[in-house]
Amino acid sequence: MILTAVLLAVIGLGLVGWFAARGRARLLYSGRGSMHSMPSYHAWHVALWILVPALLVWGLWQAVMPGLVEGAVFASPAAAHLPTDPFQLGAIVSEARNLAADPSAASFNPEAEALVEPFRAAQTRFGLMGAALVLVVAFAGGAFAFTRVKARFRARTQVERAVLALLLIASLSAVLTTFGIVASLVFEAGLFFKDVSPIAFLTGTHWSPASTAGDNISNNFGAVPLFWGTIYIGAIIAMVVAIPLGLMSAIYLTQYATRDVRKWVKPLLEILAGIPTVVYGYFAALTVAPVIRDFAASVGMPNPSTESALAAGLVMGVMIIPFVSSMADDALAAVPRAMSDGSLALGATRSETIKRVLLPAALPGIVAGVMLAISRAIGETMIVVMAAGAAANLSANPFASMTTVTYQIVQMLTGDQEFNSPKTLSAFALGLVLFIVTLILNIVALRVVKRFREAYE
């Protein structure tokens, strides 16, 4: 709480420095060409010198303060009789920390209660130390920058460099986050493949992670049914629905619809992208699935179930229609008008112009939209949970219950189970394979886009 209050104080100090520096810079202005930088640049220069060093110190202190607090608690007389077992000690310290933060929390260990007051005292002491350090750094940075508010000081250059560094950090953070995700997947998947054969994992057809007894547990982690369910629901059934409807709606809106119709229909179509997936899941489970079950019963299917790949795939296809439609709409609208006018002038009909001129020219954008839709579909979980089921079936029957990789990842990483067990680590192996498949699909899409872009530019 102390450091949070200090953070707000530093932000307020930055605002004060901004106005003070701007006021002083305005007093230095004596005519055109008398100053190198505008007063606003001097204001931002002072504000940055207040905020950036103080925030860096604040973040660093937040990182090291828990260790300092625990060290002070362990050095207190109340910690003299703590057990030496690491697991018991960790539980006691965690409970004491929670009690110090929330006095109304339930207590289960008397030894933890004895550490509450040392925890609070240490947190208060180091919080005040951190607050003082942050404020000193903020004042020092502001004072240093304020002394440099002069007519010939290049404040604009300094501020632009700071903004450039901020943009570079933002771009690097995205790249480093991607590398971190991949590294964590590879590391945890490597632990999984120490116990399970990669060949059996990628080619096996029996998925039963709960059955880990026996010498050869690889036979229980055959992921082919999961990959097939993902492809069948997300890349086949959903695409059969999304691609024709999305593409035809884009063609109608760009080539046939009037301006008034387009003004109303296009936003209504794009509303589908803003509906939460749990709503789609309810719609699939309560409306679409019973209809499909009744249809399966009417055509003679034995024991039809409300959980089916077809129900999940149909609703998923409706959900991703806006991805295909919007990208195809933008791609068709970006085709030069001269190409369609030339085709019509040569005697081609509008439908022939669309098929032979507009669609080939807009193919890069259409393919990008389709690939975006596929990536969205194969990563969907909620609709599968509520409409497709959890059975790992390797079947082409659309009325059968199926599951996907994403649903199994959720199942493996939730609940009370050991994190280092093959059952839990299998989620990372599934995630790694799904990442590789998605990467390959995007590479193929980029090759297609590049090929046709070169042909029509």
Q: Which 3-state string (H, E, C) describes the chain?
A: CHHHHHHHHHHHHHHHHHHHHHHHHHHHCCCCCCCCCCHHHHHHHHHHHHHHHHHHHHHHHHHHHHHHHHHHHHCCHHHCCCCCCHHHHHHHHHHHHHHHHCCCCCCCCHHHHHCHHHHHHHHHHHHHHHHHHHHHHHHHHHHHHHCCCCCCCCHHHHHHHHHHHHHHHHHHHHHHHHHHHHHHHHHHHHHHHHHCCHHHHHHCCCECCCCCCCCCHHHHECCHHHHHHHHHHHHHHHHHHHHHHHHHHHHHHHHHCCHHHHHHHHHHHHHHHHCCHHHHHHHHHHHHHHHHHHHHHHCCCCCCCCCCHHHHHHHHHHHCHHHHHHHHHHHHHHCCHHHHHHHHHCCCCHHHHHHHHHHHHCHHHHHHHHHHHHHHHHCCCHHHHHHHCCCCCCCCCCCCCCCCHHHHHHHHHCCCCCCCCHHHHHHHHHHHHHHHHHHHHHHHHHHHHHHHHHHHC
Among residues 104, 79, 74, 109, which one has the least CA distance to residue 91? 109
Q: Tell me if 449 sits within 8 A of 366, measured CB to CB.
A: no
pLDDT score recorded for residue 18: 92
pLDDT score recorded for residue 141: 92
Give the percent of the chain with pLDDT over 70: 91
pLDDT tens figures, 35-65: 788 888 989 999 999 999 999 998 899 888 8
Q: What is the mean pLDDT of residues 70-94?
A: 74
Is pLDDT above 60 for 188? yes
Residue type, 397: N
Is pLDDT above 60 for 121? yes
Residue type, 442: N
Is residue 213 very low, low, confident or very high in pLDDT (cuts 50, 70, 90)? low
Mean pLDDT of the chain: 84
Q: Tell me if 428 sits within 8 A of 408, measured CB to CB.
A: no
From residue 104, how far is each of 93, 98, 100, 391 by CA, in Å? Answer: 17, 10, 10, 44
**pTM score over 0.85:** no
pLDDT score recorded for residue 137: 93
Structure tokens at 282: 């309810």
pLDDT score recorded for residue 377: 85
Give the percent of the chain with pLDDT over 90: 13
Q: What is the mean pLDDT of residues 136-141?
A: 92
CA angle (411, 413, 414) in 5-degree steps: 70
Higher-scoring residue by pLDDT: 335, 84? 335
pLDDT score recorded for residue 452: 60
Structure tokens at 125: 């002491």
Domains in the chain: ranges and CATH: 2-153 (no CATH), 217-456 (1.10.3720.10)
- Is the CA virtual torsion 288, 294, 296, 298 positive or negative? negative
Of 5-9, 69-73, 227-231, which has the strongest mean pLDDT?
A: 227-231
pLDDT score recorded for residue 1: 63
pLDDT tens figures, 273-314: 888 888 988 898 889 988 998 888 888 878 778 888 899 999
Is pLDDT above 90 for 394? no
Q: Tell me if 295 sits within 8 A of 215, measured CB to CB.
A: no
Is pLDDT above 80 for 29? no
Is residue 456 very low, low, confident or very high in pLDDT (cuts 50, 70, 90)? low
Whole-angstrom distance, CA of residue 378 vs CA of residue 234: 5
pLDDT score recorded for residue 16: 92
Is residue 413 very low, low, confident or very high in pLDDT (cuts 50, 70, 90)? confident
For residues 250, 254, 260 and 263, what is the CA-based torsion angle, rounded to 10 degrees? 50
Is residue 111 very low, low, confident or very high in pLDDT (cuts 50, 70, 90)? confident
pLDDT tens figures, 307-341: 888 999 999 999 989 888 888 888 888 888 888 88
pLDDT score recorded for residue 138: 92
User: Cβ–Cβ contacts within 10 Å for residue 2, how many?
Assistant: 14
Is residue 106 very low, low, confident or very high in pLDDT (cuts 50, 70, 90)? low
Among residues 161, 162, 148, which one has the least CA distance to residue 53? 162
Higher-scoring residue by pLDDT: 1, 319? 319
Q: What is the mean pLDDT of residues 125-139?
A: 89
Higher-scoring residue by pLDDT: 72, 243? 243
Whole-angstrom distance, CA of residue 159 vs CA of residue 153: 12
Of 18-32, 126-140, 366-380, which has the strongest mean pLDDT?
A: 126-140
Q: Tell me if 135 sits within 8 A of 121, measured CB to CB.
A: no
